[in-house]
Chains A and B, each alone.
Chain A
Amino acid sequence: MTTKRPARTEPLLWLLFTSGGLAAAMLLPVLMLLFGLVIPAGWVGAPTEAHLLAVARFPLTRIVLLVVFVLALCHWAHRFRYTLYDGLKLKHLSKLIVVVCYGGALAGSVFAAYVLIAGL
């Protein structure tokens, strides 16, 4: 029998997973509460577009949002990969799952960079 050595990328992916988990835990609840629920439902007056644009254009906001979004996507990729392996018993599709998860996170990160740097 051959025993497989863990891939060298595994510690890096794990680091991204944990930092993404922390970043998402800290920032996503308040952002989703405000922009996903409270503001669109009309429970509070919506902030003006000019105000949000000014806040979003502030360099520190762009950097923080980009870092948080990219890390959160890496967190998703790593966790969802193992959810598919164990939860849905799809270990035999390992290669496809790796491509879909990390490829998806990469595509999302490119989109985030585009929106936060070129789109504002």
Chain B
Amino acid sequence: MTTVRDTEVQPRPYKPPMSVFWWVHRRSYLLFVLRELTSVFIAWSVIFLLLMIRAVGKGDAEYRQFLNWAGEPWLLAINAITLVFVVFHTLTWFNLAPHAMVVRLRGQRVPQSWIAAAHYAGWVLISGLVAWLVFGW
């Protein structure tokens, strides 16, 4: 039997209990969170590169000191992990971009594989240009 008191209870929205670690249990969820975490390594890369450019601007002694610091095993380890995440960002970004971009050429939609190929070609070209500028070959 329903009493008057029961009907007066305010309904609360049901919130299923969810752990903070909801993403460890499934591979696709784990990959999603790892992909999201690439942003942290991107921010670190920017800070690290800015510190290096600042050292270069301060003179040869500062630059040598920076290289010594960057050569410390713990920092090399951090930057190796950073490189893995940054490359992971690049690969996931290039695989996603063709789905998000609709490029038309003479009224025809450019195939997604072409857009992906253009991204990879640009990546190779830019990386080569940077290496050439840095080492002055």
- Interface SS of chain A: helix
C-alpha gap A42/B46 in the complex (Å): 22
Interface-centre pick from A30, A80, A87, A115 (highest chain B CB count, 10 A): A30
Interface 0/1 of B35-53, CB less than 8 Å to A: 0111110110111111011
Q: Would you give the shortest CB distance from B116 to chain A, in whole angstroms? A: 12
C-alpha gap A112/B46 in the complex (Å): 9
Q: Please count how many residues in chain B sit with their CB below 8 Å of the partner chain's CB atoms.
A: 55
CB of A97 within 8 Å of the partner chain: no
- Chain A: interface residue count, which band? 35 or more
**Contacts A36-B45, A41-B71, A120-B53; A29 near B36 (Cβ below 8 A):** no
Q: Would you give the shortest CB distance from A67 to chain B, in whole angstroms? A: 12
Residues of A within 8 A of B (CB): 18, 21-22, 24-37, 39-42, 44, 46-53, 55-56, 61, 65, 69, 72-73, 75-76, 79-80, 82-83, 86-89, 104, 108, 111-112, 115-116, 119-120
